[in-house]
Structure 1
């Protein structure tokens, strides 16, 4: 896009009551201090944005005279299409014009914004504007038109292992996400690795504290099996003796019970034997008849017969049990029990040794699992550390390649786009313009103008937008490279009134 200024009119703008300026390829504005030289280029930025050429607030009110209405118009050519822009200020109210047609602020601003970006235009128009911006804005504007190196190109410059590793990850995620994932994982695995190492050490300490077992496990099990077999055999013998003794005791108890019944039976016999047969009724005391007496006698005899039968049966059962008891034998099993205890106790050391083996095996399994877990965590941690190192190397190479691309745009200036942190060595965005090793803030007025013009021409070439440029205080610089586009120069000439001269070309032809 080629933008040219054709004509500027100032009405009651600062020191100019009525001024018309026609622009050529080179427009020279000269005069003594206070003659309104710088007001002319400032009026253009006020017309477009309501600011001075540095983007600051500007008061356009008349100076040294009374005025009713301030108005600035500018005829510009955009790719050979003319547009007449105007801004006025009357009684504190701003007025806007496009091709002499009044417009609302929004409409006017839309037209301007569609023509060019404010920061870009002011940087192209005023060489001092770009350095006045915050470094982040300077950096963004310069890099806006510089194509960053593709990932594949950057990966080629990394060591093979780093490039291959990071290249695989970049197929799934972008670089920011990869860094976020592995920073989070590194923090998490750092903590887990500390815990895993502690767990492994604790288990190993427990393993070292177990008693030492010299005999092989199989021989211990065989020896214990033999002891257990003997114990079971003795227990079987003991159980048989106990069963026999229980039967013996049972028969004894039965004999004692029968003997008690026999003794009680004996005690009943005298009363039954000596029972008197009465011939009178026990209730009414009347004499019994013969038949009744015979019935009483028969009842007694029946009871005697029943008694003798029961008594005889008790004696018979007792004698049978006594005979059975005589054939039985009570076995003293206490010695057998002592043998069992002694033999079982002899197997206790073997059991403890086998248990120690079991604990040893269990702890060894736990130690192995803990070591595997610790290694897995460490592998994950190391992978994240390696990935972050790859990203760090990637960013460093990206910064280097980007800086080379940007630096190639300049002839006398050097531009720093990144700075390296002292702590972690990482590259962070930065911006610094230098000339001959001096930062822009330390340059002289003439050096600053030359630096600004070179920056301005780079932005023109990169954005493919060419605008007029004005150089203020041109008397301070003896020579400079002719800039791209129209040139407006303001120079102080002592004792001279305002003079505007136009050259049709920048080689000096009138």
Structure 2
């Protein structure tokens, strides 16, 4: 039984503590209910949960695309052209050096001897050497001019490629900048929406927790109310035992702690003094019955407190006889047209 877990040495103190705890729980429940009402309204989503999940996936995709948006435009590869340009320059320089060296080399004259074989050049040899040298110089000149022309064409091609690359890069940067700006704007707008919905989902989770707290607190309060009723029942039973004990010292008078409400038949607390075999309430007694009842109650108080207080009986003319109190008592009565006097009976 719950009564065994309660401090019943001082039940009134226990009852006050329980009522104070119930009052605190009622205030706490009121605050929790207010929070529940606020969270219920604030946590309501304006879209189905599938839309929330779709927007979160879209936001993650946009962020990933923005993070990997560092690609490059498709440009002309200049490396082969530049390599070819270097090759043409090398070929031109090689032929130009040969042309210059051949042009600066002295022509043999008739009678000159060859340094390597000591052969004496004839007039015909000199003419043949001159003709061969002219042919080679002309050939080298033509090759140099051809190489120069190729270099000019190659330079023009490189310049065209550079121009194309510059245009492509500018277009790419402009498009990329616009795309990034548009994507960032979408990310910002969607991030705000997702953040608001995330906050609402957190509130929804908090709402569930508050419902649990509310339910636990209601259970605790109801248990304490049961404890209060248990203490009250204990106090009533104890009072009944005391009243039953007290009533053993009474004759026709009785003390009653309960009464039934006539309309509902409900048993309610009530301290009532009854008298007579009919158990009439004190307020409905005649004057003589009230005097007799009061004499019994006065005797009861003296006996329970082990005292001998004197009893004063007024309006004695309204009663013919009564059981004399067990202690000293005074009787006052009205005798029509009689002078005021006092008399010691015993």
TM-score normalised per structure 1: 0.38
- For residues 156-187 of structure 1, what are the alpha-carbon distances to aligned partners after superposition, in whole Å with 9 as ceiling and x for unaligned? xxxx34x367549x89x753344235324423
Output the CA distance in 2 between the equivalents of 1:468 and 1:226: 102
* Contact 2:55 2:194 (8 Å CA) reproduced: no
Does residue 408 of the first structure (1) align with residue 250 of the second (2)? no
Q: Return 343-352 or 400-409, whichever deviates more.
A: 343-352
Q: Which residue of 1 aligns with 2:296?
A: 454
Matches within 5 A, 1:359-378: 359-377=196-214
Matches within 5 A, 1:277-288: none
SS in 1 for 2:255: strand
- For residues 66-94 of structure 1, what are the alpha-carbon distances to aligned partners after superposition, in whole Å with 9 as ceiling and x for unaligned? xxxxxxxxxxxxxxxxxxxxxxxxxxxxx
- For residues 71-121 of structure 1, what are the alpha-carbon distances to aligned partners after superposition, in whole Å with 9 as ceiling and x for unaligned? xxxxxxxxxxxxxxxxxxxxxxxxxxxxxxxxxxxxxxxxxxxxxxxxxxx
* Contact 1:166 1:391 (8 Å CA) reproduced: no
CA positional deviation for 1:327: 5.7
Output the CA distance in 2 between the equivalents of 1:201 and 1:463: 63
- Residue 352 and residue 467 in structure 1: after superposition, are their counterparts in 2 closer, same or farther (change >3 A)? closer
- For residues 427-467 of structure 1, what are the alpha-carbon distances to aligned partners after superposition, in whole Å with 9 as ceiling and x for unaligned? 88x75423244332321122112101110111011110124
SS in 2 for 1:434: strand
SS in 1 for 2:246: coil
Q: Which has the higher strand share?
A: 1
Matches within 5 A, 1:78-93: none
SS in 2 for 1:183: helix
Output the CA distance in 1 between the equivalents of 2:192 and 2:216: 35
CA positional deviation for 1:355: 6.9
CA positional deviation for 1:196: 0.8
- Residue 382 and residue 362 in structure 1: after superposition, are their counterparts in 2 closer, same or farther (change >3 A)? same
* Contact 1:434 1:440 (8 Å CA) reproduced: yes
* Contact 1:474 1:491 (8 Å CA) reproduced: yes
- Residue 232 and residue 437 in structure 1: after superposition, are their counterparts in 2 closer, same or farther (change >3 A)? farther
Q: Which residue of 1 aligns with 2:325?
A: 483
Which of 383, 387, 396 lines up with 2:220 in the alignment? 383
SS in 1 for 2:200: helix
Mark the runs of 5 or more structure 2 residues left unpaired by the alignment: 77-154
Matches within 5 A, 1:79-478: 160-161=1-2, 163=3, 167=7, 174-187=14-27, 189-190=29-30, 192-206=31-45, 208=47, 212-213=51-52, 221=60, 223-224=61-62, 227-228=65-66, 230-234=68-72, 237=73, 329-330=162-163, 331-332=166-167, 333-337=169-173, 340=176, 359-377=196-214, 379-380=216-217, 383-384=220-221, 386-388=223-225, 390-392=227-229, 394-395=231-232, 397-410=234-247, 411=250, 412-416=252-256, 431-435=271-275, 436-469=278-311, 471=313, 476-477=318-319
SS in 1 for 2:51: coil
Q: Which residue of 2 aligns with 1:248?
A: none
Output the CA distance in 2 between the equivalents of 1:206 and 1:219: 18
Q: Return 460-469 or 477-486, whichever deviates more.
A: 477-486
Output the CA distance in 2 between the equivalents of 1:352 and 1:499: 106
Output the CA distance in 2 between the equivalents of 1:478 and 1:325: 151
SS in 2 for 1:484: coil
- For residues 218-243 of structure 1, what are the alpha-carbon distances to aligned partners after superposition, in whole Å with 9 as ceiling and x for unaligned? 7974x546633652123xx59x99xx
**CA RMSD of superposed structures (Å):** 5.2
- Residue 396 and residue 342 in structure 1: after superposition, are their counterparts in 2 closer, same or farther (change >3 A)? same
